[in-house]
Amino acid sequence: MDSKLVLAVDVFDADYALDLSRKLSDELFAVKINWPLMMVKGASIISELSKYSKVICDLKVADIPNTNALIAGKAAEMGAWGIVSHSIIGKDSLQAVASISEDLRVFSVVAMSNKGASQYIYPHTDELIEMSRELGVYGLIAPGNDYEMLSRIKRQAGKMKVMAPGVGAQGGSAGEAVRNGADLVVVGRAIYNADDPLAAARAFNDEISKVISLEKE
């Protein structure tokens, strides 16, 4: 299936993460792992999950270039399809991640879905997009619950893909996120905490498909 849905598997139970990724694989573009799962399972979870889906390592690397390169290098070695990096740390640090491997797509954080993002990141979003473009990154992280900011980022993204978390538990709607420019929609709790995660994932995909077909009309 040609899905735009990215499942955030922010759980501590690796068996549940693997089970969910296997059962939902047909509904997903990728699974996204973050520190909760990495902390209990280590980097081996990347290759385990890769059996079922593309894996995006949302480690939000935000360190000096050498440390960023060590982390991104390990993610690539374990088979990650993509990695999320902060960009506000500066060009040298983002470049260290971007130059690891052509097979490791970098998503650069240029805005976030939490309220506090408006304090320091939002005032620099336009510059961060420009810097990400210069470094040839694959994609940008934009808030799926702030449609004004999301569409502003999409307008400037050019070839870069826009991946939007903030949908479901954080109040954003998958349909509105896509209407406002999301190429990929991240959903975590609204799927992995659902009584029927497969049905929940299908419902998000239906919502997205409706918007896409309306846009085509």
Shortest gap between Cβ of 149 and ligand BMP (angstroms)?
10
Nearer to ligand BMP, 96 or 121 (CB): 121
How large is the angle between the packed helices 14-24 and 197-216, nearest 10 degrees? Answer: 40
Rounded to a whole number of angstroms, the minimum distance from the CB of residue 166 to ligand BMP is: 5
C-alpha closest to that of 57 among 104, 101, 1: 104
Complex with ligand BMP: residue 196 or 215, whichever CB lies closer: 196
- CA distances to 1, 19, 93, 148 from 105, in Å: 21, 25, 15, 26
Which residue number, 143 or 181, has a Cβ lying nearer to ligand BMP?
A: 143
Write down the least CB distance from residue 216 to ligand BMP, Å.
27
Collapsing DSSP states into helix, strand and coil, what is residue 29?
coil
Catalytic pick among 60, 74, 91, 161? 60
- Positions touching ligand BMP (CB under 6 A) are 8, 10, 34, 58, 84, 112-113, 141, 143, 165-166, 168-170, 186-190
Which among 117, 114, 42 is positioned nearest to 87, based on CA atoms? Answer: 117
Specify whether 60 is catalytic: yes
For residue 199 the two structure tokens come to 């049905």
> Catalytic residue positions?
60
